[in-house]
Each structure stands twice: as C-alpha cells, then as structure tokens.
A and B are shown apart, each in its own frame.
Chain A
Amino acid sequence: SYVLTQPPSVSVAPGKTARITCGGNNIGSKNVHWYQQKPGQAPVLVIYHDSDRPSGIPERFSGSNSGNTATLTISRVEAGDEADYYCQVWDSNSAHQGVFGAGTQVTVL
C-alpha cells in the first residue's frame, strides 16, 4: 500500500514561515490534501488538490506538489496555527483506499 512520510514535528517563530513536507513515491502524480487538527477538535481541510484553499482558509496557507514531495507552507505564522497537520492522498493504483501521513506537530515558539 502507498506510504506517506511526514516529519514528526516542526517548530517556527511567530511571523516566520513553516514548511511541512509529505513524501511519497512519485507523489507529484497524485492529488494531495492537507488537514489541520487542534487538540480535542475534528480535523479541518486547509488545502485540497495540492494547492487549492477552501473558503474561509487564510491565504497564508499554501501548497505545492512535485516529484516525491508535497509541501504545506504556512506564511506569517500565528499562535493559532499551532496544531497537527496531516497530508492525505487517495490510492487508486491498487485497491481504492484513503491514505494519511502520520502527521506533523507544528509548534509556535
């Protein structure tokens, strides 16, 4: 089955830029989606289709995807961005299955 690899943690100072990677074999050929989950809350979709933002998500959140790495970028980081972030793809190559990365905990210093 398809595997997505994320760093366990990323630390960033307020106002700086956080980059969260999601690695997978030829992930650039897939559509990658990103979710934010704060403690005790349900996940929230922040990026879909590699780089599209749902309504209500700040422009500070952006995404890219090429080769073997997809990246979620959070610009001008705020304290409220502290959360776990998960990447997700749909693996259509074998059995149709959803796949999540293990998640990255973003800490705002």
Chain B
Amino acid sequence: EVQLVESGGGLVQPGGSLRLSCAASGFTFNNYAMAWVRQAPGKGLEWVSAITASGGITYYADSVKGRFTISRDNSKNTLFLQMNSLRAEDTALYFCSKCRVLVASGGYYFDFWGQGTLVTVSS
C-alpha cells in the first residue's frame, strides 16, 4: 500500500524558512517522480514543484521559483521542500504526491497523495 506522510509544517514569520519532508513507502521510491501541491485555506489546488525520479531535474511554479527548493534522498525514501523567504500567501496545506509520467508528452499527473502538512506564515 502506497503511503506518503508529510511533516515539518508549522507557524513561521514572514521572511522565515521551513523545511518540509515526505516519507514514502509501499512503492519503489527511486522509480517515480514526486511533487508538492498546496491548498490555501478554503481555496483550490496549486501545483508547487516536481522532481524527476533521479532528482536530476526540478520544476517550479512561478510563484515559488527562486524561493523554494525541491530535493529527494532516494536512500531514505524521502522527499523534501526547502521554503525560504516565506510570505503570507504561502500559507497552505502542503501535499506530497507520487507522479506518473505520460510517455508521449512527458507530462505528470498525481496518482497518490499524502494527507498534507499545514504551513502558516504570520507575524
């Protein structure tokens, strides 16, 4: 059974930093791309970032580019999101998700999701 368990969320002041983790189990982690998707309170889903299975290529939403860094440790089956220069608008529930790749187009979709970890940016 696929399990994705996020941690590391909390309350942080504007301009501060936070590192999220996602522990994966139930599948061969180093065979799959992974992603972070967030959801502000009462709002819709927003894709944040993705990383290839090897970790060699990363993708970011314009809203976080230059502030967030996605990475992974395949030896520990763990995905990370380093968030710097946090803003109030980054307040959201952050979901870790397992990606599937569309061979023809190279695009991703998300076939399993964790329960999320809440990040609150406020003074």
Tell me if A42 and B62 are in contact (CB < 8 A).
no
Q: How large is the interface on B (under 10, 10 to 19, 20 to 34, 35 or more residues)?
A: 20 to 34
B107→A92 contact, CB < 8 A: yes
Known A98-B47, A100-B44; judge A49-B115 contact (CB<8 A). no
What number of A residues sit within 8 Å (CB to CB) of B?
29
Query: Which of A37, A98, A103 has a CB less than 8 Å from the CB of B108?
Result: A98
Q: How many A-B residue pairs have CB under 8 A?
A: 79
Q: Is the CB of B45 within 8 A of A96?
A: no
CA distance A103 to B37 in the complex (A): 14
Interface string of A35-54 (1 = CB under 8 A from B): 10100011111001100001
Contact check: which of B35, B100, B113 meets A44 at CB < 8 Å?
B113
> Which chain B residues have a beta carbon within 8 Å of chain A's beta carbons?
35, 37, 44-47, 50, 59-62, 95, 100, 102, 105-116
